Structure 1
Amino acid sequence: MNPILYISLAGVAACLFFMFGKGGRSMRWTGNLLVKLILGALALFFLNAFGTAVGYHLPINTVTVSVSGLLGIPGILMLIAIDIFIIG
């Protein structure tokens, strides 16, 4: 899907949370999740930036960003292990 569509849906969801939901609690949860996903994407970006020196690349997609964002460093290490030992 188009990235602009994702951003638009996120904006509509945020507006609906403000209008109909319990704004403080749900927006705090949504904001924390969004920050974690952004940090996960940045971590994967820097991993790929420094990994090119040794010939390593881990794709950045919704699954890898979600795993690295929600699980942090152990999630990134798990993705590297899966990529090296299982996928090959």
Structure 2
Amino acid sequence: MQSIWWMVFIVSFSLLILLLLRSRLSVQWLAYVGLNVVVAGLLLYLVDWAGSSYQFHIPINVPTLAVVAILGVPGLALLAAVKLVVI
């Protein structure tokens, strides 16, 4: 039964990718989102690397990456403030 669900997932994911790649606008949108995610990951890594000497650590996971990718540097500042105040 589990293999059937995996097949359904693979087929539906493939059709979604095919549908997204048919339009030039969607390819540009995917490139923009991908660039934002990469820059957000680099920013989180730099903060983690610079804060390692001060025992300051912001984990690099999906929620923190999404916050920084959507909000940018203010999102990174928000995560740092929450980390300092709450935790």
- Short-chain TM bin: 0.7 to 0.9
Higher radius of gyration, 1 or 2 = 2
Consecutive unaligned residues of structure 2, counting only runs of 5 or more, are 1-9
Identity of matched residues, %: 24
Higher helix content, 1 or 2: 2
In the alignment, structure 1 residue 16 sits paired with structure 2 residue 16: no
Q: What amino acid is the match of 2:84?
A: I
> What is the TM-score with the length of structure 2 in the denominator?
0.75
2:54 is equivalent to residue 57 of structure 1: no
TM-score of the two chains, using structure 1 as the length reference: 0.75
CA RMSD of aligned residues (A): 1.8
Q: How many residues align?
A: 75
Q: Which runs of 5+ in 1 are unaligned?
A: 1-7
Higher relative contact order (CA 8 A, sep 6+): 1
Structure 2 residue 37 is matched with structure 1 residue 37: yes
Q: Residues of 1 paired with 2:50 and 2:79: CA distance?
A: 16
Equivalent residues of 1:14, 1:27 under 8 A apart = no
